[in-house]
Structure 1
Amino acid sequence: MVSFRGASAEAAAVLTDQLGGVAESSAATVAQDLFSVAQSLRAEGSLRRFATDPSVAAEARTGLVTQLFGGKIDPTTLELLTSAVSRRWTRNRDLADALEHLGVIGAVRSAGSEGERLVDELFAVRQTVNENSELRNALSDPARAEADKSALVDSLLSGRALPATALLVRQALSGSYRTVTAALENYEKTAADVHGEGVATVYVARPLAERDQGRLATGLARQYGRPVHLNIVVDPTVIGGIRVEIGDDVIDGTVSSRLDDARRKIAG
């Protein structure tokens, strides 16, 4: 997930609390507005610098964004934006990053009780992009118009995924992350975090039975102190056993890893 330091961390925390008061019915609209404003701030360096300049009075900063965005975005979004520019930021780029992060949270909240499904769908799209080089190249091609990329996403997801999933996948095309898949992975973690969960990617040689998934989720929740959403990847190279990646931690109990260890010992 996105991490901030110092004043930016404090500002982001306040804004996240403020977003919590937004009605679920308007969360998708607010999310789209926040994504649009974040893109404008990234594209307009002078606006971004002015909006985060601590030497400029807060009234002047909020007045400018109200003049520029008033009537073009939802009033709730405008309240969040003016609140954001009235605060101090450690780096001027943090403002746009925070607004995008708030947009992701808004998109997640718009899914309501379908949070688990949203995480699963984001993971499924990420896996599809990873495994399909033609699709990956089409979505990352800088020469291809954003409208074309969005249309491609809509054709793939229309009627098959939640509106929140489609919204977040389209946002992943914005270029604010190194790759589309990196953006989707971050959005997955944020979606799980909104619902008080962590995310673990589990690599197995064959599908895990529901009972085994339940045992694994329970064990990880006990170890990490919070519920854990499991993303299951069936990978024949695992041979047997299981590999779990959660945050920076890797729990590797696969046969392939033990074979690799044995080979290294023999070679040594």
Structure 2
Amino acid sequence: MQGSSRASAAHGQRALDALLAGGPGRAVEPAALADDLFGVCGALESSAALRRALTDPTREASAKGELVRRLFADKVGAPAVQLVTSVVGQRWSTERDLVDTVEDFAVQALASGALARGGADAVEDELFRFERIVAGTPSLRDAVTDRRATPAARAEVIQALLAGKAQPETLRLARQAVLGARGRRFDRVIAGYLAIIATRREQLSATVTSAIDLDADQSQRLAAALTRIYGKPVHLKVVLDPQIVGGIRVQIGDEVVDGTVLRKLEGARRHLGG
């Protein structure tokens, strides 16, 4: 994002945090807020005229807010209207930045709900594993990603696979990855959602590729070592690959660390007394 969009997203983030924090008589249901924001995101995606109107720098913030209220007040809840009104009142470098930010806030709302009941780890793990299963199963990959089928039809495939077997946030996000793909690949959308969830949890997400499955003790020690190196809690997502030579491969964002490098980094940290 360009500078103005970053500042606008930060403004919206503060408004979202205030909504999710709630307070006496101001409770917000995270799942309902997420559904509403995904709905707004879909409306923005489907109407270039609406995107232009809500990001037009020559248009007064009050006029944009009035447009939001007129279009959405009878379609989504008051918290979503309040948040979107606040967001469109800021300056945006591109129309896409506005849509991406509304989607980001929807994912954060779902993550907040999962965090509140202690289910965030399960959501991250289930979403990651489901994407890996889809990627590794040609027939399932075709059913979920074939753009000759409607998004609704592909979402129903996901519904049939995950309903009653996964956290509600996992199901909602997996469905949204096809309903709101906006031309993006399924795996890229899921990866983006996982990154948003990790950020909301104030932790890093590490993809660990290993020739053998890690037991609980190995996972805990690896997570602890990565936490010391990066200075933040690290959540592991393990992928088994017999082709891996030399133990493990760890990817955090764009950074890749193999087992040998990890040991050297940890040794250097101990040597320096970190």
| 1:34/1:99 contact within 8 Å kept | yes
Q: How far does residue 188 in structure 1 lie from its aligned partner after superposition?
A: 1.2
Matches within 5 A, 1:1-268: 4-20=1-17, 21-22=19-20, 23=22, 26-111=29-114, 112=116, 113-173=118-178, 174-176=180-182, 178-253=184-259
The letter of the residue matching 1:101 is: D
Structure 2 residue matching 1:176: 3-state secondary structure:
coil
| Alignment partners' CA distance in 1, 2:95 and 2:252 | 31
Identity percentage over the alignment? 37
Please report the TM-score for the alignment, with normalisation by the length of structure 2. Answer: 0.88
Q: How far does residue 239 in structure 1 lie from its aligned partner after superposition?
A: 4.3
Structure 2 residue matching 1:124: 3-state secondary structure:
helix
Summarize deviations over 1:137-193 as a string: whole Å, max 9, x none: 222222212221121111111111111111111111122362111111111121122
Which residue number in structure 2 is paired with residue 266 of structure 1? none
| 1:204/1:243 contact within 8 Å kept | yes
The letter of the residue matching 1:213 is: S
| 1:202/1:231 contact within 8 Å kept | yes
| Alignment partners' CA distance in 1, 2:214 and 2:146 | 36
Task: Mark the runs of 5 or more structure 2 residues left unpaired by the alignment.
Answer: 261-274
| Alignment partners' CA distance in 1, 2:235 and 2:141 | 25
Q: How far does residue 221 in structure 1 lie from its aligned partner after superposition?
A: 0.6
| 2:11/2:87 contact within 8 Å kept | no
| Alignment partners' CA distance in 2, 1:167 and 1:16 | 22
The letter of the residue matching 2:200 is: V
Give the paired residue count.
251
| Alignment partners' CA distance in 2, 1:245 and 1:110 | 27
Structure 1 residue matching 2:119: 3-state secondary structure:
helix
| Alignment partners' CA distance in 1, 2:220 and 2:152 | 41
| Alignment partners' CA distance in 1, 2:11 and 2:201 | 18
| 1:241/1:253 contact within 8 Å kept | yes
The more displaced of 12-21 and 67-76 is: 12-21
| Alignment partners' CA distance in 2, 1:10 and 1:188 | 23
| Alignment partners' CA distance in 2, 1:210 and 1:122 | 20
Structure 2 residue matching 1:237: 3-state secondary structure:
coil
| Alignment partners' CA distance in 1, 2:98 and 2:147 | 25
Structure 2 residue matching 1:236: 3-state secondary structure:
coil
The letter of the residue matching 2:88 is: V
CA RMSD of aligned residues (A): 1.5
The letter of the residue matching 1:142 is: R
The more displaced of 97-106 and 55-64 is: 55-64
Summarize deviations over 1:61-107 as a string: whole Å, max 9, x none: 11111111111101000001111111100112111110000001011
The letter of the residue matching 1:182 is: R
